[in-house]
Amino acid sequence: MATVKGDRVEVVVDVGDGVQRFDIRATRAGRRVEVASSRGAVEVTEVTRSGRAVRTARFMAARVVAVVEHPAEDAAP
Amino acid sequence: MTPVGLGLAALGRPAYINVGRPAELGPDRDVAIMEQRSHRMLDAAYAAGIRYVDVARSYGRAEEFLASWLDARDIGPGAITVGSKWGYRYTGDWRMDGAVQEVKDHSLAMFHRQYAETTALLGTHLGLYQVHSATPESGVLDDRAVLGALAGLRHTGVAVGLTVSGPHQADVVRRALEVDVDGANPFSTVQATWNLLEPSAGAALAAAHERGWGVIVKEVLANGRLTDAAHDPAAGPGARVAERRRASLEQVAFAAALVQPWADVVLSGAVDPGQLDTDLRAVEEASPHPSALGSAPAEDSPLAQEAAGLAAMAEPPGVYWQRRSGLPWH
């Protein structure tokens, strides 16, 4: 999976009896959210302007149905 | 890993079953206050050198509180070991009077749902994911689909364990040791209740330790029964040892767990830094090198030797667990 970036990333996970959506947002101005895959997992990382990771959510790649990137321009004014 | 870990079972939700809880926490248990308490405890534990934190999906907002603390203190993955659990759903709705505070479900769907919920919060901080309270009745150790999923989780780099409760803990531990998924056992840790009133899992935990599993000990104070404040008649021998040693019953009980040669981590369920300090002084009593938190406990330390001799305090497992199940959520 290619790395994608945005202010908000929505991850849709197959939880067996349906799907569950997880919304990971940049918590401060200037930060962004990146998505990458590693060791059978999809990792969604909030990073600072300088590229430092501050938190990472992790999902089993085999259970991830969709990853939806929401760039900054999606935000309401 | 340090010999003492911090458990957030009593801080992630307003109601829990520990004896003495109303006096310890008072009536004000809104979310913000319990989060502040959790952060204060995590700060105290971290400053004391504790590097293992125990949470679960069913501990109310414990995972959320831990995640916000990790974020606020800028603590990166690997700095502490986080163990969480799946298999119970919190149903207390942040109410003290909820008739049912948690519901057990060891299905594959529950695993996938709760693993995603846990890792959405804790992500790469999660080092250990455990089946919460495996029992003979839950059937989880015979569910090939669940065991296969756990084996898959292990391949992603997350250690897989189980926790046990109830009068048949030892049987479940021994059964877990025999699990085989494609030639390997997905489990590498077990968390069990062991205390002076309920030591029946000791031999099985020793077998697990011998096999190379990590053994985590919970409920060493028997949900508050082994505290000075509880005045539980069953704790009398321990209280007398404590008086002789000029220690607290809590310290005697904690030291008794620490000196078990198979115990890798003993969980403190402290809800304020003073309680944690008491527990940590038990480490010093049990250690050949006082104040060296990372040192191995000494089986021949005077307090520990007396505590270990208190085998007569043990209750029949059925009696102990029946009494525990009758403790009120408050």
CATH number at residue B42: 3.20.20.100
Q: What is the pTM of this model?
A: 0.92
Choose from A24, A31, A34, A60 for mutation: most chain B CBs within 10 A: A60
Report residue B246 as tokens. 């000029």
**Chain A residues touching residue B109 (CB < 8 angstroms):** 15-17
Across the beta sheet with A19-25, the strand order is: A19-25, A8-14, A64-70
**Chain A residues touching residue B113 (CB < 8 angstroms):** 15-17, 20
Phi-psi category of residue B122: left, alpha or beta, with phi > 0 → left and psi -120 to 50 → alpha: alpha
- At residue B190, the pLDDT reads 98
Could you tell me where the DSSP H helices lie in B156-196?
169-177
Would you call A15 and B74 a contact, using CB atoms and an 8 Å cutoff? no
Would you call A57 and B119 a contact, using CB atoms and an 8 Å cutoff? yes
pLDDT at A45 > cutoff 90: yes
The answer to whether the CB of B254 falls within 8 A of the CB of B248 is no
The alpha carbon of residue A9 is apart from the nearest alpha carbon of chain B, in Å, by 12
User: Which residues of B lie inside 8 Å of A (Cβ-Cβ)?
Assistant: 67, 70-71, 74, 76-77, 107-113, 115-117, 119-121, 123-124, 126, 152-153, 155-157
The amino acid present at B16, given as its one-letter code, is Y
Reported as a pLDDT band with limits 50, 70 and 90, residue B287 is low
Phi–psi pair at B182, nearest 5 degrees: 55, 40
CA distance A67 to A35: 8
| Entry field: residues in chain A | 77
Q: What count of Cα atoms within 13 Å lies in the side-chain half-sphere of residue B307?
A: 34
Reported as a pLDDT band with limits 50, 70 and 90, residue A73 is low
Q: Count CB-CB contacts under 10 A for residue A68.
A: 14
Closest chain B residue by Cα to residue A37 = B156
Counting beta carbons within 10 angstroms of the beta carbon of residue B121, is it exposed (0 to 12), middle (13 to 18) or buried (19 or more)? buried
Report residue A4 as tokens. 């994608």
Nearest to A15 among B77, B112, B119 (CB): B112
Choose from B82, B119, B158 for mutation: most chain A CBs within 10 A: B119
Could you read off the pLDDT of B26-62 as tens digits, one per residue? 999 999 999 999 999 999 999 999 999 999 999 999 9
Could you read off the pLDDT of B204-241 as tens digits, one per residue? 999 999 999 999 999 999 999 999 999 999 999 999 99
- At residue B248, the pLDDT reads 93
Task: Identify the three-state secondary structure at position B109.
Answer: helix
- Mean pLDDT value across residues A37-41: 84
Q: Which residue has the higher pLDDT, A28 or B81?
A: B81
Cα Rg of chain A (Å, integer): 12
CA angle, B151 then B155 then B161, to 5°: 50
**Chain A residues touching residue B157 (CB < 8 angstroms):** 39
CA angle, B291 then B216 then B57, to 5°: 115
Q: How many structural domains is chain A composed of?
A: 1
CA distance B259 to B270: 20
CA-closest candidate to residue B204, choices B182, B224, B174: B174
- At residue B294, the pLDDT reads 45
Phi-psi category of residue B248: left, alpha or beta, with phi > 0 → left and psi -120 to 50 → alpha: beta
- At residue B290, the pLDDT reads 41
DSSP single-letter state for residue B185 = -
| Entry field: residues in chain B | 330
Domain that residue B31 falls in: 4-230+263-271
The residues pairing with B214 across neighbouring beta strands, listed in sequence order, are B189
Q: Which helix (H) or strand (E) holds A9?
A: strand A8-14
Q: Which helix (H) or strand (E) holds B286?
A: helix B273-286
Looking up tokens 């846990």, which residue turns up? Answer: B118
Phi–psi pair at B264, nearest 5 degrees: -90, -40
- At residue A7, the pLDDT reads 85
Closest chain B residue by Cα to residue A58 = B123
Closest chain A residue by Cα to residue B123 = A57
The answer to whether the CB of A41 falls within 8 A of the CB of A13 is no
The alpha carbon of residue A22 is apart from the nearest alpha carbon of chain B, in Å, by 7
pLDDT at B132 > cutoff 60: yes
The residues pairing with B85 across neighbouring beta strands, listed in sequence order, are B130
Domain that residue A17 falls in: 4-74
CA distance B234 to B314: 9
Nearest to A22 among B109, B110, B120 (CB): B120
Closest chain B residue by Cα to residue A43 = B123
CA-closest candidate to residue B197, choices B149, B252, B121: B252
Would you call B116 and A20 a contact, using CB atoms and an 8 Å cutoff? yes
Closest chain B residue by Cα to residue A20 = B113
**Chain A residues touching residue B123 (CB < 8 angstroms):** 43-45, 55-58
User: Which residues of A lie inside 8 Å of B (Cβ-Cβ)?
Assistant: 11, 13-17, 20, 22, 24, 27, 39-41, 43-45, 53-60, 62-63
Q: How many structural domains is chain B composed of?
A: 1
Could you read off the pLDDT of B182-203 as tens digits, one per residue? 999 999 999 999 999 999 999 9
The alpha carbon of residue B213 is apart from the nearest alpha carbon of chain A, in Å, by 23
**Chain B residues touching residue A53 (CB < 8 angstroms):** 76
Could you read off the pLDDT of B314-328 as tens digits, one per residue? 999 999 999 999 999
